[in-house]
């Protein structure tokens, strides 16, 4: 049976000089307009569509966003059905229209440099982000959270989990209008989307059909890219926080034979989370392969960490922390800072486990991750701690609630984390399938090769999507996730991905961070204009000098050697003399290339593509207490905070509270008291 629609599934947009009018094709009496003069929203305006000069069919409204010169309306014009869950169709948005609200917004106005930049950021995010939505299913909430919703009559936007309601900022005006004017309810027009991953597969084991699904929900709080968003903020939000839900939908044995459609009378799910180490820390890009690592010993650290874990405990129950960062070398200070923060919690519902992934799995032996699960089991984690809802039971259909969660992290919360999460999910899946009779008591899914091929690939796809959103590339170590074995070819691919990450993280991620900040409201036009490029002409010119020098070197090496004799004959000089001139030419441009390269390395900070909306100067130039691995790439770099008053300086360096970046500092390689 199809789920009841909570939103209008098909809308017709009527465009006129005076207004944008949305009309439900399912219920033409339900409509609202956005006035193009004052920007006001009104419900059910008679004759609003009469003067329309253009119409278009849209599949949903992402929302409204104010840029520099005008407000813009964003609608979904194309979608792709990707799955069906419990009778509800799930879609991915594939195309959009961004429409200026102000009717005076002519092409010349929209070509204003600031507006053009902001529109470019907005569109780059729209076409790179995986947006999923449903008119009948709350994708922001797990099966367990959906089951405990107190009032099923609530509109979808009210039920939605605020953390994963990705376009919540864009929907602000529609939500505020509905809240302030109950008689002008727009709830069925307000479409929540998630940013993340979703894949649903049909499977058969032992002649029993079932549905396996995997959903990753990315938090909109403190969102960002790999090196521009680390750690925690004062509200307790952490970077790269993702909730992953693995669910199984099956019918009782008497109804689940081969070839039959799965109605989903029995539903099970298992939740895991990942998120950055919840202290104030950062990595400062400087063109080196490994950035400068900084840990900030802020007075707010204990309170921020407490808030984070109290929120996690309130939402999930007991929290089992799995820390995978290295215990030696570059990553060691992050491990120690995390452990100090956890020790200060004194919370009996927070259970910490350290696992040196690279040491324990040395030699590409990732199967040893099962040793970690044994440690977690010894601390109280059970494989039967998952949500199970058997709707065939009379009176009390919920059989089991998940009462704990495993929160895994490495430095990026990507590659090592993916391996651990996939192993944990498989451990629980075995117990789930035994509980409903798909597997016998001692049977494991690992013995069913067809299923395991599909299962591993779903988890590897999930790893790639989560990784791309944060690092810009697919995940590392996915050869193990896809095949269950580590290979030399996979290690080579990891090397290529690592090089790509270096290039993107240093030279392209500033714009990606800006796009995140713009879309989620972490930066708004009221905050000011994007920061212009204030570097000196010499600094800006040096990359071109370097490239020109490389071009000349390349040219000197590939020019035909036989031309030297011709030149010597025409000029009346010896071939040796011409060769000496050629060597001098090569030496000259080699020296120019070396000098310009050294100049750029010495001033590495000046050549990183920093965000321009929320430029992290407080992070880059913080000089407070804590640990720093160094201050490389700063020769001659101007500190924009140096000329500010002490009070303003402190405000810029304090941990931000806009739901995105925690701050860091740069003390030369020493731990301060």
pLDDT digits (tens, 9 = 90+) for 221-261: 999 999 999 999 999 999 999 999 999 999 998 775 555 78
* Whether 419 and 567 share a structural domain: no
Max mean pLDDT among 42-51, 443-452, 574-583, 633-642 falls in: 443-452
* Whether 290 and 201 share a structural domain: yes
* Whether 119 and 241 share a structural domain: no
Query: H or E stretch including 585?
Result: helix 575-602
Query: H or E stretch including 650?
Result: helix 646-653
The pLDDT of residue 654: 41
User: Which tens digits make up the pLDDT trace of 585-633?
Assistant: 889 999 999 999 999 999 999 999 999 999 998 888 888 899 999 999 8
User: Which tens digits make up the pLDDT trace of 297-343?
Assistant: 989 999 999 999 999 999 999 999 999 999 999 999 999 999 999 99
Residue 670 pLDDT > 60: no
The pLDDT of residue 643: 57
d(CA 416, CA 47): 59
Q: Are 545 and 588 in contact (CB under 8 A)?
A: no
User: Which tens digits make up the pLDDT trace of 362-384?
Assistant: 887 888 999 999 999 999 999 99
| Helical residues (DSSP H) of 167-259, grouped into ranges | 172-180
Q: Are 424 and 374 in contact (CB under 8 A)?
A: no
The pLDDT of residue 647: 39
| Mean pLDDT taken over the chain | 89
* Whether 174 and 206 share a structural domain: no
Within a domain: residue 124? yes
Of the candidates 189, 221, 247, which is a domain's last residue?
A: 189
Range of 475's domain?
194-527
Strand partners, 32: 22, 43
Of the candidates 162, 189, 216, which is a domain's last residue?
A: 189
Within a domain: residue 478? yes
| Helical residues (DSSP H) of 484-523, grouped into ranges | 488-507, 509-520
In which band, very low, low, confident or very high, does the pLDDT at 561 lie, cut at 50, 70 and 90?
Answer: low
Within a domain: residue 32? yes
Tokens representing 405 are 């969660």
More confident residue, 337 or 563: 337
More confident residue, 370 or 645: 370
* Whether 336 and 471 share a structural domain: yes
Within a domain: residue 555? yes
- Residue 81, helix vs strand vs coil: strand
Within a domain: residue 574? yes
Residue 659 pLDDT > 90: no
d(CA 673, CA 297): 9
* Whether 565 and 454 share a structural domain: no
* Whether 181 and 241 share a structural domain: no
* Whether 497 and 545 share a structural domain: no
User: Which tens digits make up the pLDDT trace of 173-196?
Assistant: 999 999 999 999 999 999 999 999
Q: Are 134 and 90 in contact (CB under 8 A)?
A: yes
Confidence (pTM): 0.90
Query: H or E stretch including 578?
Result: helix 575-602
Positive/negative CA dihedral, 225, 231, 232, 233: negative
* Whether 483 and 632 share a structural domain: no
Residue 485 pLDDT > 80: no
Residue 641 pLDDT > 50: yes
pLDDT, mean of residues 268-280? 98
d(CA 468, CA 226): 10
Residue whose token pair is 């229209």: 97
User: Which tens digits make up the pLDDT trace of 104-144?
Assistant: 877 777 788 899 999 999 999 999 999 999 999 999 999 99
Nearest to 597 by CA among 529, 653, 550: 550
- Residue 499, helix vs strand vs coil: helix
Within a domain: residue 4? no
Residue 648 pLDDT > 50: no
In which band, very low, low, confident or very high, does the pLDDT at 492 lie, cut at 50, 70 and 90?
Answer: confident
Share of the chain above pLDDT 90, in %: 70
d(CA 475, CA 497): 8
* Whether 183 and 204 share a structural domain: no
* Whether 86 and 223 share a structural domain: no
User: Which tens digits make up the pLDDT trace of 69-118?
Assistant: 899 999 999 999 999 999 999 999 999 999 999 988 777 777 888 999 99
In which band, very low, low, confident or very high, does the pLDDT at 584 lie, cut at 50, 70 and 90?
Answer: confident
Within a domain: residue 663? no
Within a domain: residue 15? yes
* Whether 215 and 102 share a structural domain: no
Of the candidates 527, 549, 575, which is a domain's last residue?
A: 527
For residue 450, how many other CB atoms are within 10 A of its CB?
A: 10
d(CA 285, CA 506): 7
Give how many domains the chain has, as a whole number. Answer: 3
């Amino acid at each position: 049976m199809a789920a009841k629609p909570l939103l209008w599934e098909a809308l017709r947009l009527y465009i006129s000089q005076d207004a944008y009018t949305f009309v439900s094709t399912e219920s033409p009496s339900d409509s609202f307009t956005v006035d193009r003069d004052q920007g006001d929203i009104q419900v059910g305006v008679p004759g609003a569509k009469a003067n329309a000069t253009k119409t278009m069919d849209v599949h949903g409204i992402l929302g409204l966003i104010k840029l520099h010169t005008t407000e813009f309306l964003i609608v979904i014009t194309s979608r792709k059905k990707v799955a069906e869950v419990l009778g509800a169709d799930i879609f991915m948005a594939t195309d959009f229209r961004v429409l200026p609200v102000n009717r005076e917004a002519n092409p010349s106005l929209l070509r204003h440099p600031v507006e053009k930049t902001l529109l470019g950021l907005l569109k780059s995010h729209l076409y790179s982000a995986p947006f999923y939505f449903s008119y009948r299913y709350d994708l922001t909430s797990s099966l367990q959270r959906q089951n405990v919703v107190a009032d099923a009559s609530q509109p979808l936007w009210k039920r939605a989990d605020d953390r994963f309601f990705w376009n919540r900022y864009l929907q602000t005006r529609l939500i505020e209008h509905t809240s302030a004017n109950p008689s002008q309810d727009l709830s069925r027009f307000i479409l929540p989307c998630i940013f993340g991953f979703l894949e649903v597969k049909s499977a058969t084991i032992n002649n029993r059909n079932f549905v396996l699904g995997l959903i990753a929900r990315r938090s909109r709080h403190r969102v960002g890219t790999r090196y521009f968003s680390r750690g925690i903020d004062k509200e307790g939000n952490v970077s790269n926080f993702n909730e992953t839900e693995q669910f199984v939908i099956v019918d009782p044995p008497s109804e689940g034979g081969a070839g039959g459609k799965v109605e989903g009378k029995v539903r099970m799910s298992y939740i895991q989370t990942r998120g950055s180490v919840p202290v104030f820390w950062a990595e400062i890009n400087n063109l080196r392969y490994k950035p400068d690592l900084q840990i900030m010993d802020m007075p707010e650290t204990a309170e921020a960490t407490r808030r984070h874990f109290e929120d996690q405990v309130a939402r999930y129950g007991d929290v089992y922390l799995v820390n995978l960062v290295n215990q030696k070398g570059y990553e060691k200070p992050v491990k120690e800072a995390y452990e100090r923060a956890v020790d200060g919690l004194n919370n009996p519902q927070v259970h910490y486990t350290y696992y040196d992934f690279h040491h324990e799995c040395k030699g590409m032996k990732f199967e040893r991750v099962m040793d970690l699960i044994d440690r977690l089991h010894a601390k109280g984690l059970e494989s039967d701690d998952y949500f199970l809802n058997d709707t065939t039971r009379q009176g009390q259909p919920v059989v089991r609630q998940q009462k704990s969660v495993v929160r895994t992290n490495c430095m990026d919360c990507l590659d090592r984390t993916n391996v651990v999460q996939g192993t944990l999910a498989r451990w629980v899946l075995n117990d789930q399938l035994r509980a409903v009779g798909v597997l016998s008591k001692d049977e494991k899914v690992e013995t069913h090769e067809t299923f395991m091929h599909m299962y591993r690939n779903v988890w590897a796809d999930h790893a790639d999507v989560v990784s791309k959103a944060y690092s810009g590339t697919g995940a590392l170590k996915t050869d193990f996730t896809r095949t269950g074995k580590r290979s030399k070819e996979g290690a080579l691919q990891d090397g290529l991905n690592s090089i790509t990450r270096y290039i993107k993280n240093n030279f392209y991620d500033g714009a990606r961070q800006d796009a995140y900040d713009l879309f989620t409201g972490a930066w708004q036009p009221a905050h000011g204009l994007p920061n212009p490029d204030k570097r000196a002409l010499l600094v800006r010119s040096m990359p071109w000098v370097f490239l020109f020098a490389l071009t000349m070197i390349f040219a000197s090496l590939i020019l035909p050697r036989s031309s030297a004799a011709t030149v010597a004959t025409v000029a009346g000089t010896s071939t040796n003399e011409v060769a000496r001139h050629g060597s001098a030419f090569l030496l000259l441009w080699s020296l120019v290339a070396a000098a310009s390269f050294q100049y750029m390395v010495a001033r590495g900070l000046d050549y990183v593509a920093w965000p321009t909306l929320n430029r992290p100067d407080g992070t880059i130039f913080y000089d407070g207490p804590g640990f720093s691995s160094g201050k490389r790439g700063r020769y001659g770099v101007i500190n924009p905070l140096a000329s500010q008053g002490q009070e303003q300086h402190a405000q810029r360096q304090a941990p931000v509270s806009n739901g995105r970046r925690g701050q860091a500092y740069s003390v030369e390689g020493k731990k301060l008291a």
